[in-house]
Amino acid sequence: AQSVTQLGSHVSVSEGALVLLRCNYSSSVPPYLFWYVQYPNQGLQLLLKYTSAATLVKGINDFEAEFKKSETSFHLTKPSAHMSDAAEYFCAVSENSGNTPLVFGKGTRLSVIA
């Protein structure tokens, strides 16, 4: 069975500082991996996805994530945090690009301090 662990339910960074949100996955087959962002009172928006092509994936708003098979990790980073990045971030895994539902981590709330 697949699973996702997000380390840290709440991360706080200063504006302009590096953002690092951690995600580790478990999957018996090569995974498809996703990061979603949820702003208050909104649905989830896709930030980026890994689908077995390049291991370094670039997404929207200067976010990127690196797939490391040896560490079963897919950490999300952004070089410089903006106030507008404050949101809930979810990592998700799927077995393939087809039918299988995404399995989500419990989320990490990012706070950005001025």
Partner 1 sequence: DAEITQSPRHKITETGRQVTLACHQTWNHNNMFWYRQDLGHGLRLIHYSYGVQDTNKGEVSDGYSVSRSNTEDLPLTLESAASSQTSVYFCASKGDTGEQYFGPGTRLTVT
**Distance from the Cα of residue 113 to its chain's centroid:** 20
Stretch 42-71 residues interacting with partner 1 (CB under 8 A): 42-46, 49, 51
Both tokens of residue 96?
A: 């393939």
Is the Cα torsion angle 7, 91, 79, 84 positive or negative in sign? negative
Q: Does 24 bind partner 1 (CB under 8 A)?
A: no
Nearest distance from C-beta of residue 68 to partner 1, angstroms = 20
Nearest distance from C-beta of residue 34 to partner 1, angstroms = 6
DSSP state of 40: T
Residue reference for tokens 């299988």: 100
Task: Please choose, from the candidates 37, 43, 45, the residue with its C-alpha nearest in 3D space to the C-alpha of residue 19.
Answer: 37
Q: Does 107 bind partner 1 (CB under 8 A)?
A: yes
Q: Mark 67-106 with x for binding to partner 1 (rule: CB under 8 A) and - for no binding.
A: -----------------------x---x-xxxx-xxxxxx
Q: Whose Cβ is closer to partner 1: residue 82's or residue 106's?
A: 106
DSSP state of 102: P
The C-alpha atoms of residue 94 and residue 101 are separated, in whole angstroms, by 7
Binding site for partner 1 (CB under 8 A): 9, 32, 34, 36, 41-46, 49, 51, 90, 94, 96-99, 101-107
